[in-house]
Amino acid sequence: MTYRMVNGKVETPEGCEINVAYHCNLGCASCSHLSPAFRRSLAEPETIARDLALLARSFRAQFVKVLGGEPLLHPRLVEILHSIRAAGIAPRVLVCTNGLLLPRMGEDFWAAVDEVEISVYPGRELPEEARARILGHAEDHGVTLTVNHYSHFRYSYSEHGTDDEQLIRRIHATCQIAHVWRCHTVYEGHFFTCPQSVFIPQIIGDPQDIRADGLRITDDPGFAERLLAHLRSPQPLRACRNCMGSAGRRMPHQQRTRRDFRIPQQHTTEELADRRFLALLETVPDADDGCASAESAPLLPSPSLRKRS
Ligand code: SF4
Ligand code: SF4
């Protein structure tokens, strides 16, 4: 299933994403949102409410996923969750988190969310008692809870990038983030195909150009058609020049500090590419990236089990 125009609105078979805290309380190497490189920075709840209300006139998703960085670091998270629901852009609201702050979340949080996806990394597991408490909250509030364990990452971006247009096209065409999971992202009045095109320019690009890959959200009559064309475009984004898409080499999970997060990526795209996996993706677009470890299992089955925090 792909994008459809229904009653003047673009409908996606997947969701759209809102990043509420760009920084994180972990520092996973090659985090695809580059969160370890960010100092404390939070999205404005008023901006999110305004953007989603405007976008809802022309766009319909199956769910809105709230993530970051670590979304539970946002002090006004519950207010944001309510405003997402009020925008009416999707019937379900999900939060994707590393789970470390979940035991502290109050009843108002659990009442405001439909699903919680927890991404667990080696050495950062929750104690059994905290897991039991979280499960109890989820059951009390009818919240779907999913726990995924990740032992590996794939290099998500390259500091030096590439000028090889053919390689950029292949990485874009096989990108699961854009074309399989469809992690479309709303950020500061703009609609982006993927979170990487929001975050890569902020860390390694021209600060004047950070919205270059975004489509400005408006309420004029032609916006829905422009959005559909944007989503169906086969053209790589500007950020694809430095992005590994789904084709980065696999690396074991490790934690890094903000100071050394960017060091492993100081290579060209050619050096960081997994050519074998790239070729596989060209014939099997939804091939497993091999990053989840064996103990990954939904506590309560969820159709949205596919995105680490
Ligand atoms: S920047 Fe390009 S390759 Fe990277 S996630 Fe976005 S569409 Fe995919
Ligand atoms: S992968 Fe998730 S938990 Fe790890 S640094 Fe990135 S946002 Fe934080």
Question: Is it the case that residue 306 has pLDDT exceeding 50?
Answer: no
Long-range pairs for 276-281: beta carbons < 8 A, 24 or more residues apart: 277/246, 277/247, 277/250, 278/170, 278/171, 278/174, 278/247, 281/174, 281/176, 281/246, 281/247
pLDDT classification of 300: cutoffs 50, 70, 90 = very low
Confidence of residue 293 (pLDDT cuts 50, 70, 90): confident
- Which tens digit of pLDDT belongs to each residue from 184-210? 999 999 999 999 999 999 999 776 677
Q: Where are the domains of the chain?
A: 4-154+178-241
Nearest atom in ligand 2 to the alpha carbon of residue 68 is 7
| Residue pLDDT, tens place only, 227-267 | 999 999 999 999 999 999 999 999 999 999 999 999 999 99
For residue 121, the cross-strand partners are: none
Dihedral angle sign, alpha carbons of residues 181, 187, 192, 196: negative
- The atom number, within ligand 1, closest to the CA of 245 reads 3
Structure tokens at 212: 């270059």
**Atom 1 of ligand 1, residue of closest alpha carbon:** 240
Ligand 2 centre distance from Cα of residue 68 (Å): 8
| 3-state DSSP of 197-233 | HHHHHHHHCCHHHCCCCCEECCCCCCHHHHHHHHHHC
Per the CB < 8 A criterion, the answer to whether 217 and 186 are in contact is: yes
Rounded-to-integer distance, Cα 91 and Cα 16, Å: 12
**What confidence tens digit (pLDDT) does each residue in 137-158 have?**
999 999 999 999 999 999 999 9
List, chain by chain if needed, residues with CB within 6 Å of any ligand 1 atom: 171-172, 175, 177-178, 193-194, 196-197, 237, 239-240, 243, 245
Atom of ligand 2 nearest to the CA of 153: 1
- pLDDT on residue 145: 96
Assessment of whether the complete model's pTM goes beyond 0.75? yes
Atom of ligand 2 nearest to the CA of 124: 3
Report the pLDDT value the prediction gives residue 303, as an integer from 0 to 100. 36
Say whether 294 sits in a helix, a strand or coil.
coil
How far, in Å, CA of 247 to CA of 271, rounded? 11
SS3 content of the chain, % helix, strand, coil (to 5): 35, 20, 45
Could you identify the atom of ligand 1 that is nearest to the CA of residue 194?
6
Question: What is the torsion angle, in degrees rounded to the nearest 10, for the CA atoms of residue 237, residue 243, residue 248 and residue 251?
Answer: -150
Q: Which ligand is nearest to the CA of 23?
A: 2
What is the rounded distance in angstroms from the CA atom of residue 53 to the CA atom of residue 49? 6
Q: Nearest residue CA, atom 6 of ligand 1?
A: 194
Spell out the CATH class of 4-154+178-241.
alpha beta
pLDDT for residue 216 is more than 50: yes
pLDDT tens-digit profile of 20-54?
Answer: 999 999 999 989 999 999 999 999 999 999 999 99
Statement: residue 304 has pLDDT above 90:
no
Long-range contacts of 77-84, Cβ-Cβ distance < 8 Å, separation of 24 or more = 77/20, 77/109, 78/106, 78/108, 78/109, 78/112, 79/45, 80/18, 80/20, 80/43, 80/45, 80/48, 80/49, 81/109, 81/112, 81/113, 82/112, 83/45, 83/48, 83/49, 83/52, 84/18, 84/48, 84/52
Read off the pLDDT of residues 74-107 as tens digits, 9 standing for 90 and up. 999 999 999 999 999 999 999 999 999 999 999 9
Span 262-274, pLDDT tens digits: 999 999 999 999 9
185: helix, strand or coil: strand
Atom 3, ligand 1: which residue's CA is nearest?
245
In the DSSP assignment, the letter for residue 271 is H
Residue 65's beta-bridge partner residues?
Answer: 17, 94
Give the model's pLDDT for residue 207: 64
Q: How far is the CA of 53 from the centre of ligand 2 (A)?
A: 28
Question: Which stretches of the chain are DSSP H helices?
Answer: 45-55, 77-87, 107-112, 128-141, 165-173, 176-179, 196-204, 223-232, 269-272, 275-283
What lines the ligand 2 site, CB under 6 Å? 24, 26-28, 31, 33, 35-36, 68-70, 98, 119, 308-309
Residue 186 · residue 52 · CB < 8 Å: yes
Mean pLDDT of 64-74: 97
Q: Confidence class of residue 174 from pLDDT cuts 50, 70 and 90?
A: very high
- Rounded to whole angstroms, the maximal C-alpha distance in the chain is 53
Q: Best substitution site from 197, 202, 230 to test ligand 1's pocket, by max atoms within 8 Å of Cβ?
A: 197
Q: Whose CA is nearest to atom 7 of ligand 2?
A: 69
Ligand nearest to the CA of 258: 2
